[in-house]
């Protein structure tokens, strides 16, 4: 399981046609525990910088993360 902290985040309100039905949605860069970074989408509760998250799945090549409530 990939896990890490939110490095940066934004909310998309105007998306490409492929994602238009999803707006608004949150896109983040996660600083993973192994030192790498990944761009991902957030499922569920909105996250903020420094929140701890874990990957829940990959859909169509997109990693989805969810906030960990510690």
Alpha-carbon gap, residue 14 to 34, rounded angstroms: 32
Question: Considering just the CA atoms, what is the radius of gyration of the chain in Å?
Answer: 12
Residue with tokens 């934004």: 10
Q: What is the pLDDT of residues 43-58, one digit of tens each?
A: 999 999 999 999 999 9
Q: What is the pLDDT of residues 1-32, one digit of tens each?
A: 899 999 999 999 999 999 999 999 999 999 99
To the nearest 5 percent, what fractions of the chain are helix, strand and coil? Answer: 10, 55, 35
| DSSP-derived secondary structure letter, 24 | S
Alpha-carbon gap, residue 40 to 6, rounded angstroms: 10
């Amino acid at each position: 399981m990939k896990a890490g902290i939110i490095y940066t985040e934004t909310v998309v309100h105007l998306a490409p046609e492929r994602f238009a039905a999803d707006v608004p949605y949150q896109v983040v860069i996660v600083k993973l525990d192994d030192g790498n970074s990944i761009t991902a989408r957030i499922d569920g509760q909105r996250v903020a910088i420094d929140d701890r998250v874990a990957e829940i799945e990959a859909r169509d090549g997109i990693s989805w993360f969810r906030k960990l409530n510690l």
